[in-house]
Chains A and B, each alone.
Chain A
Amino acid sequence: MINPLIYFLLFLKASLFSTGGFSNLPSLHQDLTGNGWAKENVFGQSIAIGQIGPGPNGLWVISLGYLTYGYLGAFLALIAITIPALLVLVISAGYTRIEHRAWVQGAMHGVSLVVVGLLLTVVWTILRQPGVDWKGLLIAVGAFGLASSRKVNILIILGLAGLAGYLLYR
């Protein structure tokens, strides 16, 4: 049974220690699968739906919330991604005073590095989703190539990938 309070706190924790909308995935993956509250395949599904749906990137957790805990899960996820953003008010009050300190900049550089590391973890988690085989990896490479050209809309890339999946796996 899912405990709603702990469930919410796990989402909040993941969001508080992330930046950019996706780097909360590794933490959620660890905690939710660890508690047996999420199946492995819901992560790939919710990231995919998040890419298809509107709004800022981080809304994939709404999908994760629904897939693991229904409407309540989606609602708790929404609250959990909204609260950390309010910290910007605290930061805007205090940061200008300390931004020039050397250790602050060093720590920020450290955090920027770990964010990249976490995004690599996200890639790893997605590519190890059930159902991803060598053909899937080729699709991933193709999507990466198309996306990095910056000429093709993300939705079109996902549409092509879906078509490829339909033709390859049906």
Chain B
Amino acid sequence: MKLQEPGPGKWQLFRIWASIGLQSFGGGASTTLLIQRAFIDKHKWLSIEEFMRLWNLCILTPGINLVALTVLIGRKLGGAWGIAVSLAGLLLPSATITCLITVGFSSIQHLSVVQAILRGVVPATGGIMLLVGLNFALPLIRRSYKEGILYLLASGVLIIAYALAVILLKLSVIVVVLGAAFLGALFFSSKSDVPLLQQEQREQQ
């Protein structure tokens, strides 16, 4: 697919990212969808293949994948300036609002009504987080299943072991992450030619 529109101006880019940031409630999936709608469907500045290629790079990047995606799309559409205005657009308005909600919360958190509501909301976020974890695990399980039962078992045991290493042994998270990468390179080095992350990503979409 050819690009059909001239690139955006800085201000326009800022506004698009700000509206994406402000409209995305309740997590990454909705943000990804909004980005696709804005840059692929509406303005045709990106093709879906390009989007997928950029997204694969973002999965490898530490931190929030969506912020990395913002950097890549910003660079493509406007160079260094594009990166700056895109990041500012996505993060500043939504971070400011998040901060203001926290300020408001701080001033009323002693109220018993607020405490009661929070005692309902906090465990609910725990349940939602479990789903986030399972969504991450699902493509891994599918892939492991294809590789054989031993592979599946080893993956499951390692996931639990990493969690316990942090919870019970109180090992530093960094040590656990680096250890996991090392063990992965040692035992999971795949012979297949298709990059693993692309497979996983395709299944996630």
Within 8 A of B (CB), among A107-125: 107-124
* Complex CA–CA separation, A127 to B66 (angstroms): 27
Q: A137: CB under 8 A from chain B? A: yes
* Complex CA–CA separation, A110 to B125 (angstroms): 26
* Chain A residue at minimal CB-CB distance from B72: A88
Q: Place the interface of chain B in its size category.
A: 35 or more
Per a CB cutoff under 8 Å, which of B90, B97, B184 touches A107?
B184
Q: A131: CB under 8 A from chain B? A: yes
Q: B121: CB under 8 A from chain A? A: yes
A103 cross-chain contacts in B, Cβ below 8 A: 185, 189
Q: A53: CB under 8 A from chain B? A: yes
Within 8 A of A (CB), among B111-131: 112-113, 115-131
Chain A interface main SS type: helix
Within 8 A of B (CB), among A34-64: 44-60, 62-63
* Complex CA–CA separation, A136 to B195 (angstroms): 42
**Given contacts A19-B59, A87-B62, are A118 and B162 in contact (CB under 8 A)?**
yes
* Complex CA–CA separation, A164 to B167 (angstroms): 29
A114 cross-chain contacts in B, Cβ below 8 A: 158-159, 162, 176-177, 180-181
What string of 1s and 0s marks CB contacts (under 8 Å) between B176-197 and chain A? Answer: 1100111111111111010111
* Complex CA–CA separation, A117 to B140 (angstroms): 12
Per a CB cutoff under 8 Å, which of A30, A60, A113 touches B159?
A113
* Complex CA–CA separation, A84 to B129 (angstroms): 22
Given contacts A114-B159, A164-B120, 18 further A-B contacts (CB under 8 A): A15-B62, A16-B62, A22-B129, A51-B26, A51-B128, A81-B64, A81-B67, A88-B69, A92-B57, A102-B189, A102-B191, A104-B185, A108-B197, A111-B177, A114-B176, A116-B162, A142-B124, A161-B123
